[in-house]
Amino acid sequence: VSMVCRSIYNILFATESLGMSVEAYGNCIGDGALVGLIITLPLGLLVDKFHPIRVYGIGMLLVIISNIYGFYFVNDAASFRIVTILLTMVYAVQWVSNLPLLIALFPKERYGQFCSALSILNSLIMIIAPLGAGLVIKSFGYRFMFMWDFVFTCVAMVFLILMYMGWNKNGGQDNYQAP
């Protein structure tokens, strides 16, 4: 949910609010994707070393910080480029951590069922979230995509902390058994 607003309105914020050309926006997104690609392998090593739940949590914290920066300090193409690359990097942390996190947490004997349930839940959310994003942007403007991401990432962080506590309660890194 946190990324829905940005995925829909990021180009409009850049072109309409900041006056960037579509070409400059495309170059910025491409540069961010290249940086994300470059850091992917080292991130995988961090996931293996520190556990996906911990790396994912650090990624969430960095998303929160990057969105605060974006909301208050993105005022031109240069600052937009900085926050775009920062967010691409921190989203890469989450993307690289996500699948190992699911493998580590879901019960092995019912992994496919849990993934199916998660896909259904994600699909339902993705039907509703763009409507909410549209209403929020219509009310507050394109810049609010940073606040949308901030708010939903904070909510997700609360649930990640609860999950982390349950993970530790059920054996943690060395002895985790899915409930």
Residue-wise pLDDT tens digits, 18-36 = 999 999 999 999 999 999 9
What is the pLDDT, as a whole number, of residue 178?
85
pTM of the model: 0.91
Q: Say how far apart CA 173 and CA 179 lie, in whole Å.
A: 15
Report whether 178 contacts 110 (CB < 8 A): no
DSSP annotation string for 71-140: HHH--SHHHHHHHHHHHHHHHHHHHHHHHHHHHHHS-GGGHHHHHHHHHHHHHHHHHHHHHHHHHHHHHH
Report whether 70 contacts 142 (CB < 8 A): no
Predicted confidence (pLDDT) per residue in 119-134, tens digit: 999 999 999 999 999 9
Average pLDDT of the chain is: 95
Angle between helices 22-50 and 77-105 (to 10 degrees): 30
Predicted confidence (pLDDT) per residue in 64-78, tens digit: 999 999 999 999 999
